[in-house]
Amino acid sequence: MRQASRRRALSNVVVSLCGLAVVLALIPLVLIFIYVIKQGFSSLNWDFFTKMPKPVGEAGGGMANAMLGTLWLIAIAALFAIPVGIIAGVYLSEYRGSRFASLVRFTADVLNGVPSIVIGIFAYGLAVLPVHRFSALAGGLALGFMMIPIITRTTEELLNLVPPTMREGALALGATRARAAFGVMVPAALPGIMTGILVALARIAGETAPLLFTSFNNRYFTTRLDQPIASLTVQVYTYAISPYDDWHRQAWAGALVLVAFVFVFSVLARVVTRRLERMHRG
Amino acid sequence: MTKTSSSRRSADDRLFRLGTGFFAFLVVLLVAGIAYELFRDSRLSLEKFGFHFWRTTTWDPVAGQFGALPFIWGTLYSSFLALLISTPIALGIAIFLSELAPRALRTPLAFLTELLAAIPSIVYGLWGIFVLVPMVRQLEVHTPDWLKKIPLLSGPPLGVGMLSAGLILAVMVIPFTSSVAREVLKAVPATQREAAYALGATRWEAIQAALRFGRTGIMGAIILGLGRAIGETMAVTMVIGNNPKISPSLFAAQHTMSAVIANEFTEADTDLYLSALIEIGLVLFVITLIVNALSRFLIWSVSREIKAKAPKASAVISTRPEAAA
């Protein structure tokens, strides 16, 4: 019986180690949240949201241009990535058995794993190199390329959750496949697809690497597609590695805005997903 | 239904297949385009240096000398260091959340750990510079001298360096590995554990049975994490010191492939310089492609195996924590 008790003891040790692993992972999460909130809030003020950056060495100013810039870049990305992602997802779900669908599915997953900095080089070669100018368009393209695989795969997964009887019903009533897909299936899966879009937006809003040499940076705000544009992430990076205390403070404030944005989107996406799960189960 | 309308319907359906298929094709075209362009824009460097590029260690843009070995070294070193730290923790989390935790705790804890994947890399970097690096520096300052004689721990206490990079990467990789490993464990048929319990196994022994059953997928989860670590840029470049010198020391400032691209791309003033940086990007792309494909393959083969052995089990394993959260 000595051996049995030793086995039980070992089991208990491993079980507690597993619990410890969860705690270990939550420590950095909590630490990051505490620091970002503490440092961020003390540096956040009205100027931060409304003022443009001050020249090097001058205190004060804000990140108004960078925040608008990030929104502008996201808008450019969403404009082409959402339709492409959704329609590709419809294809994957409608023809899920086909060989081409497997290839696309695999490629989308691979694309999702391509480092964002590599996507940045691609967008650089596509839109910066030919005209020799950093531009909002190049940055938007890079971000959009990153959105496409996320939206494609979530759209597909959510369409697969819609009961096939709905498609069959539509087809039996004489609808074409296109009508059945876009008139019945997509609307049925729409809340879930919106969630996927939210998740994708939250992810690209926090991207820095693909913007460093595509949209670059700009001290002013412009809506012109062929001009460099500031973004919150690149601005936080520039300020973080600068030697000025005031810029460090602003970097923390920028980080707080980013984290708040991502957190709200994640929670929102989660609430929608849970409601959907309950709906499908019930 | 008349004949004409039914043939029109099938023509419509074909058009639908072609139309949506075109957008699906765009996804493939995108990856092919990335490969083509990286290759095209790095040709200058590929032709000039050949394989020499990856064997030499001198990176001196002013003299036109480009040797990329320090970056490969730094990327591999930091990624494996990160895996060494993150794998036991991530597997512990996966086991805890799928086998041990009370049901009411599972979803919120899973959400919290996967929130780690949602924090932007730049925020990790900022936190790294101002919080983690000073902590690591303290650790280095207080390392006794006799320990510093070991090459692994040699060098001045800078704070920035390999150890900081490995730690921050580990935190960033954990949610990816743990969420996929958790899905694999969830997909392992309950009969595996029940059989173990029936033979008198303890909890840990039953978990071992489940781990053994899903080991291919667990391997896939770890490799997925490796892919993430290799490609990670911002957080690493902010804490690793950006010094292209090969060193075995955890305390030494070093460099990685993605970090050198992020740092020097806008400064590349000659075509050869730019082309050398893009060649690093090309290799980064190929490595992550292989790593991701391997990870996908392993995860896919375990879910197929589970489907074959237990057809009713749900064996759809997602590889994205965003989707799981």
Please spell the DSSP secondary structure of B128-177, one letter per residue.
IIIIIHHHHHHHHHTS-HHHHTSGGG-S---S-SHHHHHHHHHHHHHHHH
DSSP annotation of A243:
S
Q: What is the enclosing helix (H) or strand (E) of B78? A: helix B69-95
- Across the interface, which of A18, A108, A153 has its CB nearest the CB of B95? A18
For helices A245-281 and A186-205, the axis angle rounded to 10 degrees is: 160
Stated length of chain A: 282
- Across the interface, which of B30, B281, B320 has its CB nearest the CB of A145? B30
Cβ A203–B322 below 8 Å, yes or no? yes
* In a shared domain, residues A14 and A36: yes
* In a shared domain, residues A38 and A153: no
Average pLDDT over residues A228-242: 95
A213 contacts in B (CB within 8 Å)? 265-266
Residue B65 DSSP SS3: strand
The pair phi, psi for residue B65, each rounded to 5°, is -100, 120
Structure token pair of residue A245:
């205390």
For helices B271-309 and B3-41, the axis angle rounded to 10 degrees is: 130
Write the DSSP assignment of B250-275 as a string of letters.
TTS-B--HHHHHHHHGGG--SHHHHH
Tracing tokens 């005209």 back to the chain, one arrives at: A131
List the single range of B4-8, B35-39, B78-82, B100-104 with lowest mean pLDDT: B4-8
Tracing tokens 């009713």 back to the chain, one arrives at: B312
* In a shared domain, residues A18 and A107: no
B42-324: in CATH 3.40.1030.10: no
List the single range of A80-84, A187-191, B128-132 with lowest mean pLDDT: A187-191
> How sure is the predictor about A266, in pLDDT bands with cuts at 50, 70 and 90?
confident
The answer to whether A32 and A258 have CB atoms below 8 angstroms apart is: no
Q: What percent of chain A has pLDDT over 70?
A: 99
The answer to whether B265 and A212 have CB atoms below 8 angstroms apart is: yes
Q: Is A18 on the interface with B (CB under 8 A)?
A: yes
User: What is the residue range of A6's domain?
Assistant: 2-43
Domain spans of chain B? 42-324
* In a shared domain, residues A69 and A116: yes
The answer to whether A268 and A243 have CB atoms below 8 angstroms apart is: no
**Segment A99-107 long-range contacts (CB within 8 Å, at least 24 positions apart):** A100/B21, A100/B24, A101/B24, A103/B28, A104/A152, A104/B24, A104/B25, A104/B27, A104/B28, A105/A153, A105/A156, A106/B293, A106/B296, A107/B27, A107/B28, A107/B31
The answer to whether B73 and B246 have CB atoms below 8 angstroms apart is: yes
* In a shared domain, residues A187 and A92: yes
Structure token pair of residue B152:
């692994």
pLDDT of residue B324: 39
Q: Nearest chain B residue to A99 by CA: give it.
A: B21
Q: Nearest chain B residue to A259 by CA: give it.
A: B119
Burial status of residue B190 (CB atoms within 10 A of its CB: 0-12, 13-18, 19 or more): exposed
pLDDT of residue A223: 84
In b/e form, how buried is each residue of B6-25, taking b as 16+ CB within 10 angstroms? eeebeeebeebbeebbebbb
In terms of Cα–Cα distance, which of B116, B235, B108, B229 is closest to B178?
A: B116
pLDDT of residue A120: 97
Checking if the pLDDT of A282 tops 60, the result is: no
> How sure is the predictor about B240, in pLDDT bands with cuts at 50, 70 and 90?
very high
Write the DSSP assignment of A163-213 as a string of letters.
-HHHHHHHHHTT--HHHIIIIIIHHHHHHHHHHHHHHHHHHHHT--GGGTT
Q: Nearest chain A residue to B290 by CA: give it.
A: A110
Structure token pair of residue A43:
């540096």
> How sure is the predictor about A280, in pLDDT bands with cuts at 50, 70 and 90?
low
B26 contacts in A (CB within 8 Å)? 84, 88, 148
Q: Which residues pair with B66 in a beta bridge?
A: B59
The pair phi, psi for residue B241, each rounded to 5°, is 100, -15
* In a shared domain, residues A240 and A102: yes
Q: Which tens digits make up the pLDDT trace of A117-173?
A: 999 999 999 999 999 999 999 999 999 999 999 999 999 999 998 999 999 999 999
Structure token pair of residue A151:
């939206």
Rounded (5°) CA angle B209-B213-B215? 110
Q: What is the enclosing helix (H) or strand (E) of B26? A: helix B3-41
State how far residue B186 is from chain A, nearest Cα, in angstroms: 16
Predicted TM-score of the model (pTM): 0.93
Distance CA A206, CA B120 (A): 5
Distance CA B81, CA B250 (A): 9
* In a shared domain, residues A27 and A167: no
State how far residue B171 is from chain A, nearest Cα, in angstroms: 7
Tell me which residues of chain A, numbers 72 to 111, contact chain B at a CB-CB cutoff of 8 Å: 83-84, 87-88, 90-92, 94-95, 100-101, 103-104, 106-111
* In a shared domain, residues A260 and A213: yes
Checking if the pLDDT of B313 tops 60, the result is: no
List the single range of A194-203, B65-74, B236-245 with lowest mean pLDDT: A194-203
What CATH number does the domain containing A129 carry? 1.10.3720.10
Residue B241 DSSP SS3: strand
Q: Is the pLDDT higher at B30 or at A45?
A: B30
Residue B6 DSSP SS3: helix
Tracing tokens 């994205």 back to the chain, one arrives at: B320
Q: Per the structure, how many domains does chain A have? A: 2
Tracing tokens 């000398």 back to the chain, one arrives at: B65
Tell me which residues of chain A, numbers 164 to 203, contact chain B at a CB-CB cutoff of 8 Å: 174, 176-178, 181, 199, 202-203
In terms of Cα–Cα distance, which of A270, A232, A272 is closest to B123?
A: A232
Distance CA A103, CA A117 (A): 24
Distance CA A41, CA A68 (A): 20
pLDDT of residue B5: 66
Distance CA A100, CA A265 (A): 33
* In a shared domain, residues A80 and A167: yes
A95 contacts in B (CB within 8 Å)? 17, 21
Range list of H helices, chain A: 2-43, 46-50, 64-94, 99-113, 116-123, 136-161, 164-172, 177-179, 186-205, 232-240, 245-281
Burial status of residue A1 (CB atoms within 10 A of its CB: 0-12, 13-18, 19 or more): exposed
Q: Which tens digits make up the pLDDT trace of B82-137?
A: 999 999 999 999 999 998 999 899 989 998 998 999 999 999 999 999 999 999 99
pLDDT of residue B10: 81
Structure token pair of residue A30:
């909590």
Distance CA A201, CA A203 (A): 5
pLDDT of residue A30: 96
A106 contacts in B (CB within 8 Å)? 293, 296
Tell me which residues of chain A, numbers 31 to 70, contact chain B at a CB-CB cutoff of 8 Å: 31-32, 35-36, 39
Checking if the pLDDT of B3 tops 80, the result is: no
> How sure is the predictor about A57, in pLDDT bands with cuts at 50, 70 and 90?
confident
* In a shared domain, residues A192 and A224: yes
In terms of Cα–Cα distance, which of A221, A245, A247 is closest to A52?
A: A221
B164 contacts in A (CB within 8 Å)? none
> How sure is the predictor about B276, in pLDDT bands with cuts at 50, 70 and 90?
very high
Distance CA A91, CA B129 (A): 45
Distance CA B275, CA A124 (A): 12
Checking if the pLDDT of A249 tops 80, the result is: yes
* In a shared domain, residues A85 and A31: no
Q: What is the ipTM of this complex?
A: 0.93
CA separation, residue B182 to residues A113, A174, B110, B214 (Å): 19, 44, 9, 10
Residue A53 DSSP SS3: strand
Tracing tokens 């730019």 back to the chain, one arrives at: B274
Checking if the pLDDT of B1 tops 50, the result is: no
Q: What is the enclosing helix (H) or strand (E) of B60? A: strand B59-60
